[in-house]
Amino acid sequence: MKKNAGNEKTTILIVEDDPGLSELIAITLRGHGWDTAEAFSGEEALAMSRERRPRLILLDYSLPDMSGADFIAAAERTNIALPPFIVATGRGDERIAVDMMKRGARDYIVKDTQFLNVLTIAVERVLEQLDVERKLEETRQLLREHDEALLASREELRALADRLLVVPEQERTRIAREIHDQVAQDLIRLKLDLVWLNGQLAKSAPPAVVLKERVAEMIALTDGAINCVQKIATELRPAVLDSLGLCAAVEWQCREFQERYGIVCRAKIPQKDPTVDRDRATALFRILQESLNNIRRHAAATLVEVCLRSDGDGLSLTVTDNGKGFSSATLKDPLSIGLIGMRERAALLGGVADIRSEKGRGTTVEVRLPQKIKAPTGEAPS
């Protein structure tokens, strides 16, 4: 606590006209690890405040050329930004001390027999206070930046949502990917920062309570935005799925993936198109897309095998890559939104998504959806 965040030594400017006392104060403060500078008059102190930019001033009220009050007035007049200061007054000068506190002094010390002891305690306390204030200011700045980022994301979302009303069907898939890859990523990064900030604030002094509430609000807001993004992405139905059916869509997706990214992608699909309702087809297709996206972005794989099966029990889709895999910690990470999304999609339809991975041994995503129990009115198969 005796040093600045920048690891520079904290300089305290001692303004005291008695050279003997000034030296004693300097020795005491240096003994506590602080750096000192000394000024013996008000004028000298003003010049040193400007040149040396001390972190704190210890100001004797009665200087030969001016009083403490005059010193502050002179600084204001000459546009010198004074650092925080502590005033030292003579015994019985409490009224002066109170007046100086009103003028911005952080503390006052009476020059009595306990002077040197009280002095170091006061300096320590004020420096700690300054440290907390600095951290709070940094946090406020971060919050301001996050506010702006959040606003920008919402603007982006609104612009995309507007476009959705008029874009042709085949554009939807591309936009869905854009939303997922860009907007959702930004929001998730933002949320990570906010969660970090929340953790930092939990460790700080009482003034941070208001900020903590603010961060909690921002996290809720970000969650809302993430939900919104995911909803938009879900609502965007890939045109290829509608026009060609699930089997053809899977084959098309694999072919496109292989052509675009140069990663061999083999598709094994049933001879006969299975009867798949709209929700299941969408879920399987989305999981395939998310798996391929992950492979493209994270796996460094050279081969992907996609297998779609249909039997009496239901439908299954397996996506296997020979890439670098990942640890089980990632699987449990609440921030693995993509992986969580796959499991949730399957669970919503009464199925399961089993994700298996091992570092250096590739990854397998296996989704099983049960056969739909047809309602009496029956949904038309795609």
Ligand X SMILES: Nc1ncnc2c1ncn2[C@@H]1O[C@H](COP(=O)(O)OP(=O)(O)OP(=O)(O)O)[C@@H](O)[C@H]1O
**170: contact with ligand X by CB under 6 A:** no
Task: Name, in order, each residue with C-beta under 8 angstroms of 220's C-beta and a sequence gap of 6 or more.
Answer: none
339 binds, options ligand X, Mg ion, none, Cβ within 5 to 8 A by partner type: ligand X
> Around 83, how many Cα atoms within 13 Å sit in the side-chain half-sphere?
24
Q: Six-digit token pair at 123?
A: 């300096």
**316: contact with ligand X by CB under 6 A:** no
Q: How far apart (Å, rounded) are the C-alpha atoms in residues 177 and 290?
A: 10
Task: Name, in order, each residue with C-beta under 8 angstroms of 373's C-beta and a sequence gap of 6 or more.
Answer: none
Q: Six-digit token pair at 252?
A: 């098309």
Nearest distance, CB of residue 319 and ligand X, angstroms: 8
Binding mask 275-304 for ligand X (x = CB under 6 A): -------------------xx-xxx-----
Helix 115-164 with 209-235: angle, nearest 10 deg: 20
**68: contact with ligand X by CB under 6 A:** no
Task: Name, in order, each residue with C-beta under 8 angstroms of 151's C-beta and a sequence gap of 6 or more.
Answer: none
Per DSSP, the three-state class of 369 is strand
How many residues are given for the chain?
382
Whether the CA torsion 348, 233, 283, 327 is positive or negative: it is negative
**222: contact with ligand X by CB under 6 A:** no
Nearest residue (CB) to ligand X, 91 versus 297: 297
**353: contact with ligand X by CB under 6 A:** no
Distance separating the N- and C-terminal Cα atoms of the chain: 68
330 binds, options ligand X, Mg ion, none, Cβ within 5 to 8 A by partner type: ligand X
Q: Six-digit token pair at 126?
A: 């004020």
Nearest residue (CB) to ligand X, 154 versus 177: 177
> Which is nearest to 330 in space by CA: 298, 300, 302, 353?
298
Nearest distance, CB of residue 270 and Mg ion, angstroms: 27
Binding mask 327-366 for Mg ion (x = CB under 5 A): -----------x----------------------------
Binding mask 174-213 for ligand X (x = CB under 6 A): -----------x--x-------------------------
CB of 317 closer than 8 Å to CB of 305: no
**294: contact with Mg ion by CB under 5 A:** yes
Binding-site residue total for Mg ion (CB under 5 A)? 2
Task: Name, in order, each residue with C-beta under 8 angstroms of 379's C-beta and a sequence gap of 6 or more.
Answer: 277, 278
Q: Six-digit token pair at 139?
A: 């946090």
Nearest residue (CB) to Mg ion, 28 versus 294: 294
Q: Six-digit token pair at 264?
A: 């061999």
Q: Quote the DSSP letter at residue 236.
A: S
108 binds, options Mg ion, ligand X, none, Cβ within 5 to 8 A by partner type: none
Binding-site residue total for ligand X (CB under 6 A)? 18
**245: contact with Mg ion by CB under 5 A:** no
**83: contact with Mg ion by CB under 5 A:** no
299 binds, options ligand X, Mg ion, none, Cβ within 5 to 8 A by partner type: ligand X
Among 154, 237, 324, 356, binds ligand X (CB under 6 A): 324
Nearest residue (CB) to Mg ion, 338 versus 350: 338
Q: Which residues bind ligand X (CB under 6 A)?
A: 185, 188, 294-295, 297-299, 321, 323-326, 330, 336-339, 363
Binding residues for Mg ion, rule: CB under 5 A, are 294, 338
